[in-house]
Structure 1
Amino acid sequence: MELEKVLEQHFGYTSFRPGQKEVIEQIVNGKDVIALLPTGMGKSLCYQLPGYIFNKPVLIISPLLSLMQDQVDQIKQLKEKRVVALNSFLNASQKKGTIQHLHQYRFIFISPEMLLQQQVQQKLISMELSLIVVDEAHCISQWGFDFRPDYLRIGEVTAKGNRPPILALSATATNKVLGDIEFYLKMNNPYTFIHSVDRPNIHIGRKMFQNREEKLDWILEHVIETEGPGIIYTQSRSKTESISERLLQMGISTAAYHGGKDPLDRQFIQQQFIDGSLEWIVATNAFGMGVHKQNVRQIIHESIPSNVANYMQEIGRAGRDGRDALAMLLFADGDDEFAKFVGMDDFPNEVHVDLYIEYRRKDELPSTMIQNGEISETAYRVLDYWMHQFHPNEVKQQLYAMKNDKMKAVEEVLQLIQTKSCMREKLVHYFGQTLMEKPSNCCECCGLEYKDIIRKREQSDYKEPTVSWRRRLENILLGFS
């Protein structure tokens, strides 16, 4: 079958982007595939086109509700009606009806947690799937060990029965993450396509400050003087609120975004940003994945990210239109220690292992630890997963190793901040790649002229669109898109 004909018939394109055809050919031939393609390179086509070739359901395991809804919306815009998201937006009756008719859909989006539900598994085993897709597959390694251990169980479910090929998609992954993806998805000698992680149009800056107040003053002055749209990342929910409030007082259309907000509020804020009603978002790392906004001009990290991979994912949300964009990494004394504290704040330890054993000994449910305020729900999920995998002493060793990995990851970010050599080169090397060519205005260490990258606010052609973001989002949620 000539793939270009299918491409033009269903998607209106006459040629593939780099990597797409190679990946699709391997899938059509029945191979498991790991594909690392930069944001904006059309990863979704790698499973959508096979969906039309095989003409059997494609199961897409996706990490976030907002990402699922966005993907469903995009597919519906291609006039495909047989697409559904099986998630918590459905009430009990809708969920039951969707599962009952699941075999009638061409594209099925689902979260790892929903995938593990018994009724869902029973239905999927009875179906003949053409392809299983794990989108944002780096989450297996970055989230599975941290706060969503169900990611580590995906392979246990997908291995049941006579499974179809598995496609793991991501924009970035280190060699360790690639190994985790292959191992936990139980992939069979996968074909791996790796595109360069470098985004030449994203220029990397950094600034050092003596204290956090000085850093905040710089942010406020910089945002008021330069063009957006942009995202300011910080590690504290309270900081997202306080910084966005200060910007609002200065006349900047902005909003705070974090995991503590109501899911529908988060959807509205995200849609406002996409449609241009908001120029800036101040967010924790809960924001960004699946946000398809082409003209993000700036990414500012108010606090250092927990690891280099997260940093690369977050700055990759800028400049999808191919125009120049600026990624600013800010650092004040003590930021690295705060990052380590945040990384360990909601994580189980040896005391929790002993408590878990004690509850079992008393024939009580270990989950009672949550009700008694002895552990957070997130930390318990991680603990419970490992307590079902290993002997308690081995669990303690595992948690200790994971803690060390978190500390090491922060130190790696600190090395990027402190380096006197090319920051871009160091970033690309972190992912096991070689930088072939440096763009002009490469990074702070190579001499970066900010005025050549970001225009002054009065020169900006930023305009608020006339599209009703609220009406569009309501249509998405009600299924009328």
Structure 2
Amino acid sequence: MQLEALLEKYFGYTSFRPGQKEVIEQILMGNDVLALLPTGMGKSLCYQLPGYIFNKPVLIISPLLSLMQDQVDQLKQFKEKRVVALNSFLNAHQKRNVVQALHHYRFIFISPEMLMQQQVLQKLNTMELSLIVVDEAHCISQWGFDFRPDYLRIGEVVGNDNRPPILALSATATDKVVGDIKDYLKMKEPFEYIHSVDRPNIHLTKFMFYDREDKIDWILRHTTETEGPGIIYTQSRTKTEMISEKMLQAGLSAAAYHGGKDTLDRQFIQQQFINGSLEWIVATNAFGMGVHKQNVRQVIHESIPSNMANYMQEIGRAGRDGKDAVAILLYAEGDEDFARFIGIDELPNEVHIEIYDNYKVRNEPPSNMINNGEISETGFRVLNYWMNQLSTNEVKNVLQNMKNEKLQEVNEVMRIVKTSQCMRKMLVQYFGQNLEKNPDNCCSACGISLQEIINPRQQVELGHDEMSWQKRIEKLLIGNL
């Protein structure tokens, strides 16, 4: 049966999007594949259809709980019952039952950290997998070295001689990141499909401010005058709460989203945004990956991101329906200093290395550094990984190089901020590609009219029977006095 016929049989689609068929054909031939497809181009189909053709379990290594849950829900909408997410949402009893029955599932979603657990590895080693997928594979390079080192171990635990093909998927990656993906996954001469990172329907603009507080005033004025849905990114959890509260007071439906919130709260907020109950999300970069909302019209960066890859990923959440959307970057003098601080804040330093060595000399577990408040949990994960890979002096060099790279990444973002040249051209060139054509309303440098892209906010007059909830409460309170 031809691939198009199988596509219609299992998913109801009559044709492939660019790149999907080429990637699937290579997987069916048993080849490793690295595919860079922009957000909204249907990356997940590249492993879902082979899963039905092979009819053996597909292992999908995924970075975030929300992303896993979104993919699970998506497959269940297509009547797939043999799908599971093996993650921290499961209690010990549920996890044990899922691991024991793992061979019965068609699609198995798992985090790199869960993959490293001994009982999970033992079970997977008894199974015949049809495909290993690393979703959002850029995380190997962007997160593996300094945030989640278990990403660097994936190739070690799945890279045996008898393994099935590996499919690495991402929306964006520089040449360096592509190299890291291939090296750390131990890919064997992978077929590469690299689509242009440019999204012509996302129009780019930026605004400069003397004072950071002026940015907040601008956001409030802008969001009360223009339509969403939209995402506002900031690098401070406190600021997400403050901005969302001000937006609520202005009569906008908004919520804050950050890693400090309870998992269920984050899920609830995300679902409200997806179904349209919330118009605006004010978030740290914890929000967005795997959020399949097609009609995001605006992405606003209240503070500059720490690197170009994050910026590209975040603005890529706009306009997934192919319609016009806008990405707005706000900058005030000194923003880059905070971005640099965020970039290197949790990196271990030479003092941490000495403390680690002292614990080893005393035959005490170095993990006590966390309990004694000498290092963050994230910092320890990074330090522990490298201390078990290299000599002490080599670790010092690695950590210093990582710090230098983080600082350089902020400098790359500042080039976009300060340039008088085409923002789109600079973005595309950063990822090693050339811009073929500038769309209308391209960017600040080329000329842009927000009024032609974003609709004005519709002011709704409430009748007597449609008074706002604030007015209803006020009337009830006054009536009870």
* TM-score, normalised via structure 1 length: 0.95
CA deviation profile, 1:386-432 (whole Å, cap 9, x unmatched):
00110010000000000000000000000011111100000000000
Q: State the one-letter code of the partner of 2:150.
A: D
Q: Deviations along 1:25-65, whole A, 9 cap, x unmatched?
A: 10000000000001111101100111111111000001111
Matched ranges for 1:150-169 at <5 A:
150-160=150-160, 162-169=162-169
Counterparts of 2:102 and 2:196, CA distance in 1: 37
RMSD: 0.9
Give the superposition deviation at 1:160. 3.4
Shift, 1:328, TM fit = 0.3
Report the Cα offset of residue 161 of structure 1: 5.6
Structure 1 Cα separation of the partners of residues 191 and 166 of structure 2 = 10
Residue 358 (structure 1) shift: 0.7
Counterpart CA distance in 2 for 1:166 and 1:283 is 33
Map of 1:141 onto structure 2: 141
More off after superposition, 391-400 vs 143-152: 143-152
**Corresponding residue for residue 399 of structure 1:** 399
Partner letter of residue 166 of structure 1? I
Q: Distance in 1 between matches of 2:459 and 2:292?
A: 25
Q: Label 1:146 to 1:167 Cα distance change in 2 as closer, same or farther (>3 A).
A: same
Q: How many residues are treated as equivalent by the alignment? A: 460
2:468 alignment counterpart: none
Q: Which residue of 2 aligns with 1:478?
A: none
For 2:253 and 2:2, the matched residues in 1 are separated by 48
- Structure 1 Cα separation of the partners of residues 457 and 3 of structure 2: 46
2-structure distance, mates of 1:222, 1:332: 17
Letter of the structure 2 residue corresponding to residue 252 of structure 1:
L
Task: Give how far 1:372 is off.
Answer: 1.0
Give 3-state SS (helix, strand or coil) of 2:141's partner. helix
* Aligned residue identity for 2:316: G
Instruction: Decide whether the 8 Å contact of 1:254 with 1:278 is kept in 2.
Output: yes
| Counterpart-to-counterpart distance in 1, 2:67 and 2:383 | 27
Find the counterpart in structure 2 of residue 175 from structure 1. Answer: 175
Distance 2:96 2:162 in 1: 25
CA distance in 2, matches of 1:201, 1:221: 24
Equivalent in the alignment of 1:254: 254
1:310 is matched with: 310
User: How many angstroms apart in 1 are the aligned matches of 2:341 and 2:43?
Assistant: 35
Indicate the SS of the match to 1:457.
coil
> Secondary structure at 2:289's aligned position in 1?
coil
Cα offset for 1:225? 0.7
Query: 2:178 and 2:110 mapped to 1: Cα distance?
Result: 22
In 2, Cα distance between the equivalents of 1:344 and 1:109? 31
Q: Is the 8 A contact 1:234 1:284 kept in 2?
A: yes
- State the Cα distance separating 1:233 from its structure 2 match: 0.2
Match of 1:215 in 2: 215
Q: Which amino acid aligns with 2:373?
A: G
Q: Which secondary structure state, in structure 1, belongs to the residue aligned with residue 206 of structure 2? A: strand
Greater alpha carbon shift after TM alignment, 62-71 vs 1-10: 1-10
Does residue 85 of structure 1 match 2:85? Answer: yes
State the match for 2:470 in structure 1. none
* Offset of residue 459 of structure 1: 7.6
Q: Which amino acid aligns with 1:136?
A: E
Deviation, 1:188, is: 0.6
In the TM superposition, what are the counterparts of 1:109-128 in structure 2 within 5 Å?
109-128=109-128
Retained in 2: the 8 A contact 1:304–1:413?
Answer: yes
The separation in 2 between residues aligned to 1:58 and 1:146, in whole angstroms, is: 28
Shift of 1:146: 2.0
State TM-score, norm by structure 2: 0.95
The code of the aligned residue for 1:32 comes to D
**1:130 aligned onto 2:130:** yes
Partner SS, residue 96 of structure 2: helix
Unaligned runs of 5+ in 1: 461-481
Superposed, which structure 2 residues align to 1:278-297 within 5 Å? 278-297=278-297
2:235 matches 1:239: no
Q: Give the letter for the 1:228 counterpart.
A: G
- The amino acid across from 1:138 in the alignment is H
**Counterparts of residues 333-372 of structure 1 (less than 5 Å):** 333-372=333-372
Q: CA offsets per residue over residues 56-99 of structure 1, 9 Å max, x none? A: 10000011111111100100111111111111111111111111
The residue aligned with 1:200 is 200
Whether contact under 8 Å (1:125, 1:161) holds in the other structure is no
Percent identity, aligned pairs only, is: 73
* Contact kept? 1:125, 1:160, Cα under 8 Å: no
